[in-house]
Amino acid sequence: MKKNTNWEEYKRRLEEIPEINLDGRNILDLHNEFSKLFTDLADAKNTSTPIKAFTKKNNLKTTTKFKRLTKILDRYHHALMTNGLTNHLSIAIRNTQLMLIQEGNVCKEEWWQAQIEKVELAAKCNIKFWKRINHLSGRQKTHVPPLKYDLNGTEQTAKTDEEKENLFTNILRQACRISPEENTNYCQDNERRVKEELQNKTQEITTEWIINLDEIRDNSNRLPFSNLDILNTIKSLKNRAPGPTGLRKPFFSNLPPNIISNICHLFNCCYATGIYPNHFKTAEIIMIPKNTAPSANPEKYRPISLLNIMGKFFAKLLNNMLIKQFERNHTLKDSQHGFRKKEEPLPYSPTYMKEYPEKRVQTAEHWSPWSLGMSKKPLTKPGTRPSHSS
């Protein structure tokens, strides 16, 4: 991607976009600006990244002798087309072909030796190593075979992509649904406390319809997010799957200052109104087999959601702000488990639990309000380490 994309052209097209100011405007303008921003980024990407058709190339490095024999064979072919086939010419062509085949085997041996050396160099990194192995083995991307499922007692087969998509959608819809019987198995007191907490904070969590940035400025008249925060967050992210937009990390790392300023302004507007944009909630779901090989059973697949990278660094900015707020106000209690900065998690040991019974989490009263309601999970048994999403 770095070789094909003209980054100068990419930046030049984005530099023409003016900076925005939504202070005092309606939140509908905020959604429209996000849509326009993604459209501009996609247009700049398409114009600066040419689409090239893939052509399979011969990666063998030919030797000097192989090139010489190829030219000799071309001359014999020209003589054959001009003067016709003679006994002497037939023998010369056959001998040249045999020498060419023998020299081609030498080229293959040299190519494989070079590939083995590349594999040895790539062995230091697990990702590069298996990428090189898959390249040598000719392994291609796996495709989902026709899926068999039961419909009203009759076995059906989903062959087209649309039929497979509908089948997986129905399976995920059923898997994510909680019945009233299953809901009673969870901590009702936990849910009650969450609802009371939300009702008490109704005024604070209600979405604002008019963007007012003055309400979120601190004593130094600074907004929560700055351009430097955006740049540092982009730099810290890994170059993972791009999601529905198709924009990978390099397309954000090469943004001009005016686009960084617009993104920062939009993030501050989201913070001021309490809106998490819909563009960040939309994901591209990929179904991958639970085992190594694809199966005809649709139950043998699990989903992976690919989110937009811009939504990832917005979520990271919010997470950093929450952590600072929790540490500043000492919101999290000592009984709150998880990977916390400068805190060592409790060791899972029966001896430890026996010697320090006050650390045992027996009821939901030990949970911080911020950990309530994040996910529905059964009550933790006394003496075991609780597991929840923080």
Tens of pLDDT, residue by residue over 130-189, are 777 777 776 666 678 888 888 888 888 888 888 988 999 888 888 878 877 777 777 788
Residue reference for tokens 């291609």: 140
DSSP calls for 14-67: HHTSPP---TTSBHHHHHHHHHHHHHHHHHHHHHHS--------------HHHH
Q: Rounded distance, CA 377 to CA 270, Å?
A: 30
Asked if residues 99 and 49 have their Cβ atoms less than 8 Å apart, the reply is no
Is the per-residue pLDDT at 33 higher than 50? Answer: yes
> Could you tell me which residue, 340 or 241, shows the higher pLDDT?
241
Q: Rounded distance, CA 152 to CA 226, Å?
A: 57
Q: Rounded distance, CA 74 to CA 71, Å?
A: 5
Phi/psi class of residue 23: alpha, beta or left (left: φ > 0; alpha: ψ in -120 to 50)?
Answer: beta
Asked if residues 256 and 15 have their Cβ atoms less than 8 Å apart, the reply is yes
Asked if residues 70 and 296 have their Cβ atoms less than 8 Å apart, the reply is no
DSSP calls for 173-187: HHHT---HHHHTTS-
List, in sequence order, every residue forming a beta bridge with 286; answer none if it has no partner.
304
Residue reference for tokens 């040299």: 110
pLDDT for residue 10: 93
pLDDT for residue 199: 86
The letter for the amino acid at 254 is N
Tens of pLDDT, residue by residue over 264-275, are 999 999 999 988
Phi/psi class of residue 387: alpha, beta or left (left: φ > 0; alpha: ψ in -120 to 50)?
Answer: beta
pLDDT for residue 202: 81
14: exposed, middle or buried (C-beta count within 10 Å: 0-12, 13-18, 19+)?
buried
Round to the nearest angstrom and report the end-to-end CA distance of the chain: 36
Tens of pLDDT, residue by residue over 61-92, are 778 888 888 888 888 888 888 888 888 888 98
List, in sequence order, every residue forming a beta bridge with 303; answer none if it has no partner.
287
Is the per-residue pLDDT at 351 higher than 60? Answer: no
Q: What are phi and psi of 318, to 5 degrees?
A: -65, -40
Asked if residues 276 and 270 have their Cβ atoms less than 8 Å apart, the reply is yes
Q: Rounded distance, CA 376 to CA 188, Å?
A: 10
The letter for the amino acid at 67 is K
Is the per-residue pLDDT at 377 higher than 60? Answer: no
Q: Rounded distance, CA 102 to CA 105, Å?
A: 5
pLDDT for residue 328: 82
Q: What is the mean pLDDT of the chain?
A: 80
Q: Rounded distance, CA 333 to CA 316, Å?
A: 23
pLDDT for residue 339: 58
Is the per-residue pLDDT at 368 higher than 70? Answer: no
Q: Rounded distance, CA 276 to CA 314, Å?
A: 9
Q: Say which DSSP state 207 is in.
A: P
Rounded to an integer, the average pLDDT of 95-109 is 88
Rounded to an integer, the average pLDDT of 367-372 is 38
Confidence band, pLDDT 50/70/90 cuts, at residue 372? very low
**This prediction's pTM:** 0.64
Q: Which residues contact 34 (CB under 8 A, 6 or more apart)?
A: 266, 277, 279
Q: Which of 273, 277, 354 is nearest to 313 (CA)?
A: 277
Tens of pLDDT, residue by residue over 53-63, are 555 555 667 78
Q: Rounded distance, CA 11 to CA 17, Å?
A: 10
pLDDT for residue 9: 92
Tens of pLDDT, residue by residue over 193-214, are 888 988 888 877 777 788 999 9
Q: Rounded distance, CA 251 to CA 11, Å?
A: 10
Asked if residues 269 and 66 have their Cβ atoms less than 8 Å apart, the reply is no
The rounded percent of the chain whose pLDDT value lies above 90 is 21
The rounded percent of the chain whose pLDDT value lies above 70 is 81
